[in-house]
Every structure is written in C-alpha cells, then in structure tokens.
Structure 1
C-alpha cells in the first residue's frame, strides 16, 4: 500500500501537481501561457493534492458556483481535474482526495458537488449520481431545411473579436439559470473555457437579436474541414461549442443562421438538452440524427437536509425517504418531503435509496418510479412512487450546458 498524505499544495507545488494529473488524463502539461490562466481558474484554496513525501501523485480541484435546482439555486462545487499518477492508481488515492473534498464542500456550506465524469464507473461509489443527460446531434445540412412556419423573431449578427469576448458572458448572466442543472460561470471559467479557445481554436460567435433590438441568444462555433485525400470536396462541418437562447424564437433564429452558412455539409451539436426540438423544426426531421445520448452532469449531495430545503416540490401527498450515505453518514436518515418542503422525521419510510440515487431524483431528471423499476429505489409503499414522481418532477429536463 502506498503511503501518502492529502493536503493543500504549496504555491510552488501546484503546477507539478497539475502536470501529474494532466499526464494521468493523457493530456500534456500546461504551457506557461496556459498556466498563467489556469492558476486563477482553479483556485489554490480549493485544491487538494496527494503527496508521496514531496512528490505529487494525484489532485482534485473545484470552483465555487451556483447550481440551479427546481424553484431555486444552491451553492455548489464544480469539481474538475481529478486524477492519479498511472503507477499509483487503485491504492486509495482518489478515495482519499474525493472524500476530503466532499467533506470540505459540506463544511463550506455547499450542499452539492457537481462534475462531468471522464469515466462513468468511478463516481457512483462516492455518492455521485447521473442527474442529467444530453444528446449529440448531427445535422445533414444538404437535407435540412427549416419549416416555413417556424417564426422569425429577429436577426443574427457575427461579433467582432472584441465583442466575442464580452457579450456572451453578459448574455449568459442576463439569461440566468433557467433550467435545473445549469451553473453560474465565473471570470476564471470565461478566461479558460471561452477567451482561451477563441484564441487557440479560432471560434466564431454569433448573437441573435429580437425585433426590439434586445440580444437574447448566442452560439460559439467553428468550421472544420471534412475533406480528405480521397474526398477533397467533402465540405465543412460546423462544430457548435456553446449555444444558449433565452426563448424558443432565439433558438430557432440561431438554428436558421447555422443552416445558412455556405460550404457546410454537416452541423455537429454536442451536449444539447434532451428535449431540444431541432429535428421538429426541419422539413425533414431525419436530417437531424441523434448520434448519442450520454450522461452529462453528475451531482453529489453533501448536505441532504440543506439541499432538500433549497428546492420546491410539486403537489402530492407527502413521502418519507430513507437515505443511505456510508461516506457522509451525517446525511443518512429519514426525510419527509411535501409540497411545503422537507424535514427530518422518525416516521416509517415509504422509499429507501442510496445518496447517489437521490442525486438522480433531486433535479427531476429521473422519476422515482423509473428508478424503482431498475432496482435503485426500494418501495415499502409502492403507491408512494407516484407521489414521489409528482413531488420531484421538473417542468423541464435538467441540463447543465457548461463544460468545466
């Protein structure tokens, strides 16, 4: 068994720790230019590293965000850069790092931690559950035409280089967290995930403006050549990186713009909401093909009572949940959920579940009846499943829409 300690890295240890994780994730270490941005995007006070003597062998970081939940929002930790050196895996290093981080989240008053999983088999054992799914869509531009009855609510303009750095962040903040699962984006996120990729990958930004002159949506995209030696005239693909709209008219307007770009044969939209109707606005719905449906946002409730108190519930008779949490036992116990809120109780449980399954239920992405049907919820009272479905239901499927 490897002897190691988990602690905050000193300033001079932060970059070596990041390099260790980068190699573990099959990425090159940051350049000097990248590190100048990353050191602020991934705060030192939210970094934990594992050390063998003075040598880093693993790391995890997080950023403070707000997470949208049905009827409100909660403080949360956006977890990233989780990794262990290849010759030190399966020795308890990740377990020690993540457990330390989760307990810190609870102590900070952050009732949830969220992440995008590089491997889907890792995080369930730490209490994370899949809370939202996304679809990856390929649109065959040669067969795609917008239906004539799709309303035109404004126009689209390309942004200058200076506007492309500022306007999307203003628009994202103005649109707000209008779906469960969305998170706030701090300055560090914008510098690392937006400004940097504009410089590195030559992305373009277009904005939709309504008939009153109000900007209400944006898309960040870039053309990629599909040509090969065998097929030099294959055309271009538009890779959509970031697309947000305040209303259906803005969304349709951004679709219309992407479909109008010349020389394009494919439009590739990654990580879109499950219910986004791009196929239904086309004359030929089959021109938009769902290439994959994947897990996206994983949630870990670090303080179940606070998380329950931070969201609203639908109209149904109360349900008592018996929650199991071996890693953070303070969360374990029974909770009475009703339209008026949630509270601890000693009443008999209607439903039993582990904390990772609770995360799947929490944002409204998966009905309790579905989770019970696959064995993830044990129902002492089967009729309680219908009540739980109504209590936890979300008006729209959860979606994060932010990579981190």
Structure 2
C-alpha cells in the first residue's frame, strides 16, 4: 500500500531539462555537497541515456535517482550474457521508507525483462536493501596487503625470465592496448563484466567530472616474448619514512589484469620489486587469486578486506542455465520462487560437458530456491547443500542438493573487478 506521503511522487524517465535537479538529488543521496555546476550538467547530458535514467519527483523537486546501462556478464565457461546494470540509486532523506525505491526498481526490472536481459546486476553500498528485489551476492572480492620485506622474494629480480618484458607506459597506451587484454580475460573468467570506452577514459583520467579527485597512477604493460600485450597494471605509491632515513612506501594497485599466467606472475613480481616499496595493497581480487601462493611466504599476504561486490538478479532462468557450461552430466528439476513473478516457475535442466537444455516442466521439483539465491548458484559461487542448511533452499528429494552441487560447481571462483 502506498503511503499518503508517497502518493504525490511521480516516477518517470527523465528529460534533458531534468538533469540539473536529478544531479542535485543524486548528490544529496550520496552525501556530496549539494551544489551543481553547469559543467557537471553538461557531462551528465553527454554520458547518460534519458531512456534508462529515472527520477522520482515530488512536485518540481527530484527526490530519487536511478539509472541503468547495457552490460555483458560472463557466465561459467565464457559466454557473455546481456545484463542490465543498475547504478546511481538514491532516495532523498526526506522521502525514505515510502516505496520510492520499490517503484523505480520494479519499473526497471520489468523493462529489463522486456529488453531481453538475462540478468540484472548491481554493486550495493548496503547489504539489506536489494534482496527483496531478487538480487543476491554472486561474486566476492578480496584485498591483500603484502609485506614485501618478509615475502621471501629474490631481491635481485630484474625482469621476467620467460622472454617477456614489463614496460612503463602512459594512460593513452593503456587505452590502446588494455581493452583487448580485458576482453581476453572476460572470455574465460566468469563474473567479469564488459567495459565501455567511457569507462576506459574515466579510469585513465580523461573527461572526469568537474572537481572529481584524480591522482595519476603509474601504468605498466606486460608483453610476451612475441611482443604481444598480455597484461597490465595501474598503481599509485604512498611514500613515507620509517622514522629514520629509510624510505618506505605502499604501492596501491588500482587494477591488475592478466590474460596469461606468465603475465600475472610477472606483474606481481614487478610490483613487489619496486625500489622503496615495502608494502603492496592488491586491489580487488578474486577470493581464490593466485597472489598469496605466488609468494615464497604466503603469510606475507594479509587479508584486509573480503566483501560481496557483484549482486545478480536472474530474469530469464532458461537462458541463464543454458548459457553456462557444466563439468559433469546430470539433470535437475528446480523450482524458482520469485515474488515479483519475473523468473518464477519449475524448470528441468539437462546438462553435460557438451551443452545444456532447460525448459519449463510440471514435474515435482527436487530443489526449491528463491531467485535471490539463483544468481550465485548460476555463477558457481554457492553451495546448494550449504543453502539447505541455512534454510535458503529446500531439498525435496534426498541427494538432490549433492547432485546439484556437482553439476553447478566451477573450477574457479567468480570475479568481478569493477565497481559500477
């Protein structure tokens, strides 16, 4: 039931004339100074699609913001599926708990389903909000702090031993070579999302919003023995002294992307060999990242953050389950519960390493799960048996959870290096 205070709020797509008010509400929601400049408005008009940007309006005032953009998300096995990425979500503090977010989200999910998106994605700032809309955590990231002085690495290292090389470059070179490396990675690593040209520009300091803080990083590219770029890294260094004359510094990794194991090893080794750097902060890595085990003493890498980053909301169960690969053969009758009705139903999955077929069925379900749990299962990031113990899945046929885990598991953890 809509509260009387919310009855006068109109949720709609914005027009270009709405951008100043929309941007002001966006700043209020993210607790940024409530001042909007002409330059900021001009940038928003250039990068936002009014057809995918929503606002909630109480009279002439914008009190809620919401936008989405087209994205591709890599499923287990390397297939990219269309996704609707949700971001920029705010509700002004004067209009909280009045159903404003629900109206904006429900409208977006209905449009995403109509567009043919297989899933919807987001990176939440708060955990409890999005589960009620069918989203659930599907990929986690871990940050390590490496004490280089105790890692046991050879201090005489001067470059890769495989015939490759690591070169310092500038942002323009990264914009030229890094997108191809990123595409190679997302073709094999589930959880990685596509990036637009705008993202590469923003992440290399081009066309930033007025007043947006920026520190130019160091960029390096790894090239294999043939000269082909196969990895890159961006990092900054915080310099200080230990109280005496000895300089110490922390290299903070903004990104490290490697299309081959050789590139990954070489880039981490480079970062841990920089003169005057005694600590390396890894940036967002997969929970099963190779980094700690690349060190002679893995205890030199300490976990400083482990968080759910990518949340997934399945919109099309059939296409989602058919898009991924399976390491073993098997079948499963699954009932998906979805109070929004967008993905609800019973489905029979027949899968093998050669392919998968999924379709609606009237058979008795072997497992019952909520759509909020399905995204993590789809990305191989969750255990059905664990969900049963937690009360988040129901096993209606003995042994079904164990069979489902064998079917849905993935060799590596899902990884999403991007925040959007």
The counterpart of 1:273, out of the listed 286, 303, 312, is: 286
Question: Does the 8 Å contact 1:177/1:183 carry over to 2?
Answer: no
Question: Does the 8 Å contact 1:322/1:334 carry over to 2?
Answer: yes
Secondary structure in structure 1 of the residue aligned to 2:278: strand
Question: Does the 8 Å contact 1:165/1:195 carry over to 2?
Answer: no
Q: 1:280 to 1:77 in 2, by over 3 A?
A: same
TM-score by length of structure 1 reads 0.92
The counterpart of 2:410, out of the listed 368, 384, 394, is: 394
The equivalent of 2:199 in structure 1 is 189
The equivalent of 1:70 in structure 2 is 76
Question: Does the 8 Å contact 2:23/2:41 carry over to 1?
Answer: no
Residue 21, structure 1, aligned to residue 21, structure 2: no
Cα drift, residue 66 of structure 1: 1.0
The equivalent of 1:51 in structure 2 is 57
Q: 1:360 to 1:147 in 2, by over 3 A?
A: farther
Residue 345, structure 1, aligned to residue 350, structure 2: no
Question: Does the 8 Å contact 1:245/1:251 carry over to 2?
Answer: yes
**Structure 1 unmatched ranges of 5 or more:** none
User: CA deviation digits over 1:120-155, x for unaligned, max 9?
Assistant: 111111100110111111011222243799973322
Secondary structure in structure 1 of the residue aligned to 2:205: helix
Residue 6, structure 1, aligned to residue 6, structure 2: no
Query: C-alpha distance in 2, partners of 1:316/1:208?
Result: 39
User: CA deviation digits over 1:143-179, x for unaligned, max 9?
Assistant: 2243799973322111034313332224323444321
The range that moved more, 139-148 or 96-105, is 139-148
Cα drift, residue 226 of structure 1: 4.8
Question: Does the 8 Å contact 1:146/1:281 carry over to 2?
Answer: no
Q: 1:145 to 1:207 in 2, by over 3 A?
A: farther
Cα drift, residue 344 of structure 1: 0.6
Secondary structure in structure 2 of the residue aligned to 1:133: strand
The equivalent of 1:218 in structure 2 is 232
The range that moved more, 31-40 or 332-341, is 31-40
Q: 1:73 to 1:279 in 2, by over 3 A?
A: same
Cα-Cα RMSD:
2.4
The equivalent of 2:319 in structure 1 is 306
Query: C-alpha distance in 1, partners of 2:192/2:46?
Result: 22
Query: C-alpha distance in 2, partners of 1:338/1:348?
Result: 15
Query: C-alpha distance in 2, partners of 1:63/1:136?
Result: 27
Aligned residues: 402
The counterpart of 2:151, out of the listed 138, 144, 147, is: 144
Query: C-alpha distance in 2, partners of 1:172/1:30?
Result: 34
Question: Does the 8 Å contact 2:177/2:229 carry over to 1?
Answer: no
**Structure 2 unmatched ranges of 5 or more:** none
The range that moved more, 176-185 or 346-355, is 176-185
The equivalent of 2:343 in structure 1 is 331
The equivalent of 1:80 in structure 2 is 87
Query: C-alpha distance in 2, partners of 1:199/1:210?
Result: 34
The counterpart of 1:262, out of the listed 259, 267, 275, is: 275
User: CA deviation digits over 1:93-120, x for unaligned, max 9?
Assistant: 1111111111111111112111111001
The counterpart of 1:205, out of the listed 219, 231, 234, is: 219
TM-score by length of structure 2 reads 0.89
Residue 61, structure 1, aligned to residue 84, structure 2: no
Cα drift, residue 40 of structure 1: 3.8
Question: Does the 8 Å contact 1:67/1:183 carry over to 2?
Answer: yes
The counterpart of 2:48, out of the listed 29, 42, 45, is: 42
Query: C-alpha distance in 2, partners of 1:26/1:57?
Result: 13
The counterpart of 1:163, out of the listed 165, 170, 173, is: 173
Q: 1:161 to 1:318 in 2, by over 3 A?
A: closer
Question: Does the 8 Å contact 1:223/1:239 carry over to 2?
Answer: yes
Query: C-alpha distance in 1, partners of 2:29/2:304?
Result: 28
